[in-house]
């Protein structure tokens, strides 16, 4: 079996119903979402706010569509709340994902984050962690990593626009100050390019620690508008800064080659949050999947 055949493709439900702005796609049902994912050719999903939280119930829905759970987002508040609060919420989240068969847990630090604030500029309002914040974050993440390891799982840290871990410098500091066996990295093309980072450099530097991948594209003109207008992250989403691979400014060919050559095993999840009233979720999910297939036409990808 080649390394490429160990890459599995999933789709995130945020294109159908937005977790941060539930009014976007409020009319779209859970069953429509997962049915259209399967119809577009994906075999995995992350978890949205309309998904049943009972493992047996969710498994039945997904099994009917040949879908599995790749992972799900967890908001940590290690820099702003007592560790025990994050720990208890994390254990519940971990156990749910373990019951669903997921191997990785997406973690993002939301202490001081502005990503959910409609009126705060995503660039100029972005938080900058103090040394104390960094200590709380790195020690806390390692502790969460140990809890994940108890179930044979790993945490994958999601660098994200509008948070204290967004830029190359911040990603470097996080990686340099956490143990590789406790903290892995989620590689998100869209957030890196939107922030102004070089995704190939990040991937090549941390490929041994990257255990989960999000593929999203960027509409260059919208990204420039968001920065020039000092828009918030959520405003950028509503304007359409994100789209699926092949529909924006990112060249995914060298990125896919780097991933394949590294021997990556795991999920690549297409995650392009847009207003479903403007960008039909099924149409764009299919467009993203077809573009990915064209990148490696000779490979049998799951």
Q: Is residue 301 in a domain? A: no
**What does the pLDDT average to over 117-144?**
98
pLDDT digits (tens, 9 = 90+) for 148-184: 999 999 999 999 999 999 999 999 999 999 999 999 9
Here the tokens at position 242 are 């994100």
Number of domains in the chain: 1
**What does the pLDDT average to over 127-132?**
98
Can you say whether the dihedral through the CA atoms of 285, 273, 71, 252 is positive or negative?
Answer: positive
Residue 256 has pLDDT above 60, yes or no: yes
Residue 3 has pLDDT above 50, yes or no: no
Residue 279 has pLDDT above 80, yes or no: yes
State residue 13 phi and psi, 5-degree precision: -75, -5
Query: CATH no. for residue 205?
Result: 3.20.20.150
* % the chain with pLDDT above 70: 96
21: Cβ contacts below 8 Å, ≥ 6 apart: 234, 237, 238
Cα separation of 186 and 206, whole Å?
10
In this prediction, residue 300 carries a pLDDT of 44
Q: Is residue 276 in a domain? A: yes
Asked if 270 contacts 289 with a C-beta cutoff of 8 angstroms, the reply is yes
Q: Is residue 140 in a domain? A: yes
Cα separation of 239 and 89, whole Å?
32
Residue 122 has pLDDT above 60, yes or no: yes
Residue 56 has pLDDT above 50, yes or no: yes
Report which secondary-structure segment, H or E, holds 188.
Answer: strand 184-188
Residue 302 has pLDDT above 60, yes or no: no
Q: Is residue 133 in a domain? A: yes
Q: Is residue 107 in a domain? A: yes
In this prediction, residue 81 carries a pLDDT of 98
24 or 264: which carries more pLDDT confidence? 264
Residue 83 has pLDDT above 90, yes or no: yes
Cα separation of 296 and 243, whole Å?
20
Burial of 83 (0-12, 13-18, 19+ CB in 10 A): middle
The CA-based angle 250-253-258, given to 5 degrees, is 110
Mean pLDDT (the chain) is 95
The percent of the chain in helix, strand and coil, each rounded to the nearest 5, is: 45, 15, 40
Band of pLDDT at residue 298, cut at 50, 70 and 90: low
Q: Is residue 302 in a domain? A: no
Which stretch, 13-22, 96-105, 274-283, has highest mean pLDDT? 96-105
* % the chain with pLDDT above 90: 91
Strand pairing class (68-71; 242-243): unpaired
**What does the pLDDT average to over 223-239?**
97
Report which secondary-structure segment, H or E, holds 201.
Answer: helix 199-206
Residue 297 has pLDDT above 70, yes or no: no
pLDDT digits (tens, 9 = 90+) for 8-40: 999 999 999 888 888 887 888 999 999 999 999
Domain extent at residue 184: 3-295
In this prediction, residue 5 carries a pLDDT of 61
- The pTM of the full predicted model, rounded to 2 decimals, is 0.96
State residue 170 phi and psi, 5-degree precision: -70, -40
Cα separation of 119 and 190, whole Å?
21
Q: Is residue 255 in a domain? A: yes
Residue 254 has pLDDT above 50, yes or no: yes
Cα separation of 265 and 114, whole Å?
32
- List Cα–Cα distances, 199 to 50, 100, 211, in angstroms: 31, 30, 15
């Amino acid at each position: 079996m080649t390394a490429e055949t160990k890459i599995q493709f999933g789709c995130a439900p945020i294109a159908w119903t937005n977790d941060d702005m539930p009014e976007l796609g409020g009319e779209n049902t859970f069953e429509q979402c997962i049915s259209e994912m399967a119809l577009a050719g994906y075999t995995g999903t992350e978890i949205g706010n309309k998904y049943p939280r009972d493992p047996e119930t969710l498994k039945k829905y997904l099994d009917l569509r040949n879908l599995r759970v790749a992972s799900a987002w967890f908001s940590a508040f290690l820099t702003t709340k007592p560790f025990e609060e994050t720990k208890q919420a994390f254990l519940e989240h971990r156990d749910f994902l373990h019951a669903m068969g997921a191997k990785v847990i997406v973690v993002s630090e939301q202490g001081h984050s502005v990503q959910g604030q409609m009126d705060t500029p995503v660039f100029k309002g972005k938080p900058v962690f103090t040394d104390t914040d960094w200590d709380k974050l790195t020690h806390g993440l390692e502790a969460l990593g140990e809890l994940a390891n108890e179930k044979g799982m790993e945490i994958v840290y999601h660098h994200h626009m509008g948070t204290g871990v967004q830029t190359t410098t911040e990603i470097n500091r996080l990686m340099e100050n956490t143990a590789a066996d406790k903290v892995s990295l989620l590689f998100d093309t869209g957030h890196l390019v939107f922030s102004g980072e070089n995704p190939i450099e990040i991937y090549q530097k941390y490929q041994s620690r990257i255990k989960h991948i999000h593929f999203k594209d960027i509409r260059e003109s919208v990204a420039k508008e968001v920065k020039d207008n000092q828009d918030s992250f959520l405003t950028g989403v509503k304007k359409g800064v994100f789209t699926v691979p092949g529909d924006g400014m990112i060249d995914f060919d060298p990125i896919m080659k780097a991933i394949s050559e590294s021997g990556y095993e795991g999920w690549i999840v297409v995650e392009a949050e847009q207003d479903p009233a403007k960008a039909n979720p099924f149409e764009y999910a299919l467009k993203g999947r077809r573009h990915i297939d064209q990148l490696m036409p000779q490979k049998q990808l799951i």
